[in-house]
Amino acid sequence: MKLYVGNLPFGLSDTELATIFSEFGSVQSANIINDRETGRSKGFGFVEMSSNEEAKNAMTALNGKEVNGRNIKVNEARAKEERPRQPRRY
C-alpha cells in the first residue's frame, strides 16, 4: 500500500523517511518530492509498505506525530489525477 506523507520537515531525506516508517514493517520505497527548478523539498512524499496491515499500522501511529518540529500527516495515497498539459510560459 502506498501512503502520502505531508508536512515533512524540509531537511528530511528519503532514507530518514524510510527509517521512520520501518518501525512498522518493511518499507519498499520512500520518496520525498522535490521542486524541479530548485531541487528543494516540497514538504511531502510517498512511502510504499509491503502489506496493507503494515501501512495501516504506520498510518495510525504516525499521523499527527511530530518529526523535527513538524506534525506530519499520513494518509492512503490517491491515484494521480490526469491534468491537461499547460503550455510553458517563458
Q: Is residue 83 part of a domain?
A: no
Long-range contacts of 25-28 (CB under 8 A, 24+ apart): 25/49, 25/50, 25/51, 25/53, 25/54, 25/55, 25/57, 25/58, 26/50, 26/51, 26/54
Instruction: Residue 31: give its domain's CATH number.
Output: 3.30.70.330
Q: How many domains does the chain have?
A: 1
The tens digit of pLDDT for each residue in 14-72 reads: 999 999 999 999 999 999 999 999 999 999 999 999 999 999 999 999 999 999 999 99
Distances (CA, A) of 86 to 15, 37, 89: 33, 17, 9
Q: Is residue 65 part of a domain?
A: yes
Q: Is residue 54 part of a domain?
A: yes
* 48 close to 27: Cβ distance less than 8 angstroms: yes
Where in the sequence is the domain holding 28, given as residue range(s)? 2-76
Give the pLDDT of residue 82.
Answer: 74
The tens digit of pLDDT for each residue in 9-21 reads: 999 999 999 999 9
Say if pTM beats, i.e. exceeds, 0.75: yes
Give the pLDDT of residue 89.
Answer: 74
